[in-house]
Amino acid sequence: MPGLKIIPAIDIIDGKCVRLSQGDFGHMKIYRENPIDVALEFQDADLEYLHLVDLDGAKKGKVVNWKVIEDIQGKTALTVDFGGGVSEDEEVEYLLELGINQINIGSLAIKEPDKLTHWFEKFNAENFILSADVKNENVMISGWLESANYRVLDLTDQFIERGLEYLTCTDIGSDGMLSGPNFDLYKKLKERFPHLKINASGGISSLQDLERLKELDLHGAIIGKAIYEGRISLAELKKMANHPLDGF
Is residue 41 pLDDT above 90, yes or no? yes
pTM more than 0.85 = yes
Q: 5-246 in CATH: which number?
A: 3.20.20.70
Exactly one of 54, 81, 133, 175 is catalytic; which is it?
133
Tell how strand 138-141 and strand 146-151 pair up: antiparallel
pLDDT at 91: 98
Nearest 5°: the CA angle 206, 208, 214 is: 115
CB neighbours of residue 33 within 10 Å: 11
Asked if residues 52 and 18 have their Cβ atoms less than 8 Å apart, the reply is: no
Annotated catalytic residue within 11, 54, 171, 175:
11
Please check whether residue 245 is in contact with residue 1, taking contact to mean a CB–CB distance below 8 angstroms.
no
The question of whether 133 is a catalytic residue gets the answer yes
Active site residue 54: no
Model pLDDT for residues 196-244, shown as the tens digit of each residue: 999 999 999 999 999 999 999 999 999 998 999 999 999 999 888 776 5
Q: What residue segments make up the domains of the chain, in order of their start?
A: 5-246
